[in-house]
Amino acid sequence: MKILFIAPLPPPVGGHSIVSKALLDELEAYHRVEVVNFNKQSFKEGVNNFKRIIEVIKALQNVWRKRRDVDAVYLTISESLAGNLKDLFIYLICFRSLSKMYIHLHGGSIKRLLWDRHRSLLNINKIFINKLAGVIISGRSHIDIFEGMIHRSKLHIVSNFAQDYLFSTEKEIRDKFSSTQPLRVLYISNFIDKKGYNYRFTKQSDLTMFLLRWM
């Protein structure tokens, strides 16, 4: 198959780009893949400067050039207002291929933070999403995001994951925390309040238990 793959790839390294790279590696092992990399050098949401606008325009031009004669299209969609407008442009560019396009939602806030606040934007998205081959979500709790937009049979659940080498045992974490002063934490995610990076821990044991809950 010839696949048009539209997603952010590392660098920088984040949850979204790691998953995209893992999928791309699998697809390239068996198929011909045309890649449009929508990465950005900042973890901040949205279009925050003129340079980013130029990057998006160039990426959209790449989508236009590579869209022809593809058997499938894979697109990771955004949850920000600017990102959703970018996705709408991609739908338009690939309009003739919507019936073989799969979109992938990383996260579950797009309905609450975007579509519930902008009903006209929701209705525009419905027009395109209803024509898609499928939607990939990370859990059953996200099914209602696309209720009334696409048939339930076209929703596919693919759970979030991380590569095995990224995991540590509970003992390794406790040993590391007990011998490091001050404790240094590598935070890999978007720098937005809802991700929790601004949370202040009163003591080291609070941070230890916070991280262990997500193992």
Q: State whether 153 and 172 are in the same domain.
A: no
Q: State whether 149 and 183 are in the same domain.
A: no
Residue 162 lies in a domain: no
Q: State whether 45 and 141 are in the same domain.
A: yes
Residue 33: band (very low, low, confident or very high) from pLDDT cuts 50, 70, 90: very high
Domains in the chain, number:
2
Q: State whether 73 and 17 are in the same domain.
A: yes
Q: What is the pTM of this model?
A: 0.79
Q: State whether 151 and 173 are in the same domain.
A: no
Find where tokens 């593809």 sit: 70
Asked whether the predicted pLDDT for residue 190 surpasses 90, the reply is no
Q: State whether 46 and 97 are in the same domain.
A: yes
Residue 163 lies in a domain: no
Find where tokens 């291929």 sit: 97
Residue 15 lies in a domain: yes
Q: State whether 176 and 144 are in the same domain.
A: no
Residue 214: band (very low, low, confident or very high) from pLDDT cuts 50, 70, 90: very low
Residue 40, domain CATH: 3.40.50.2000
Find where tokens 């992938």 sit: 104
- Give the HSE-up count for residue 171: Cα atoms under 13 Å, Cβ half-sphere: 0
d(CA 210, CA 164): 20
Asked whether the predicted pLDDT for residue 140 surpasses 70, the reply is yes
Q: State whether 105 and 57 are in the same domain.
A: yes
Residue 119 lies in a domain: yes
Q: State whether 84 and 27 are in the same domain.
A: yes
d(CA 114, CA 169): 38
pLDDT at 52: 84
Q: State whether 138 and 180 are in the same domain.
A: no
Which residue did the predictor score with more confidence, 197 or 49?
A: 49
**Domain-ending residue, one of 112, 134, 157:** 157
d(CA 2, CA 71): 5
Q: Which long-range contacts (CB under 8 A, 24 or more apart) does 185-189 make?
A: 188/13, 188/14, 188/15, 189/14, 189/15, 189/43
Residue numbers of the domain that contains 179: 168-212
Q: State whether 179 and 109 are in the same domain.
A: no
Q: State whether 111 and 179 are in the same domain.
A: no
DSSP 111: I
